[in-house]
Amino acid sequence: MATLKTRLTHDVCLRGCWLGLGSAASAEIAASAGFDWCLIDAEHGAFDIDAIATQARIVGPDVCVRVPKDRDWMIKQVLDLGMHTVVVPMIDTAEQAHQMACAMRYPSKEFPQGTRGIGASIVRASGYNHDANYLMEANQRVSLFVQAETATALENLEDICAVDGVDGVFIGPADLAASLGYLHDLDAEPVQAAIDDALRRIVASGKIAGCLSFDAERADHYEKMGAKFLAIASDVALLAASLRWVASR
């Protein structure tokens, strides 16, 4: 079973690092730095499917992948590479969330709506047909996080959380701030109040709540609000800040 999925069901906050550089070296450094998890950001980072595959081999099957968009074929490619945890951005409705939940899973008695295409015998996820139990266990191994990043998503949050096959909801603070009219002010009180309220509602639904903040105090606050899947750093931000600090001395 995916160890990240198992750990996320426990009463502990797991803190991770966003990988956006597209560098195998930075992924290797981050993977050994002590984070609970790492996420390949294929929405904004410099990634194609080959770069994702390279980093997956370095970081391991617990690496998360944020796909660029809510498209079934993108999820299929990521899962066939052997990743278990997929984050899908910009999910505004329960209907979108349901489509993604179906794309994550093979059709089965437990999940007959599954739409994931079967090619297990020729892909990395099964060890190229070495894992004889892959097809039977794949649906239990995977986990889906959908991102609520707009005012519309917050309006539909309970319905999104209620979708079978959605394991958690991850708040996207920057896009949410823009959607609420605060493009240049992530710190605005209405934005932070909306995030706090959303985290409470996700936790109340029984789903795993996720969020992102590179500010240590705010990250601690989100954990207190119930976030269990918490991004606290990115390779891009850390490298940029460190180089600028050194150059300015």
Catalytic residue IDs:
44
Cα separation of 233 and 35, whole Å? 9
The two tokens of residue 23 are 């560098």
User: Which 3 state secondary structure label does DSSP give 125?
Assistant: helix
What is the DSSP secondary structure assignment for residue 23, as one 8-state letter?
Answer: -
Give helix then strand counts, H and E, for the chain: 12, 8
Residues counted in the chain:
249
CB 54 within 8 A of CB 79: no
Largest alpha-carbon pair distance within the chain?
63
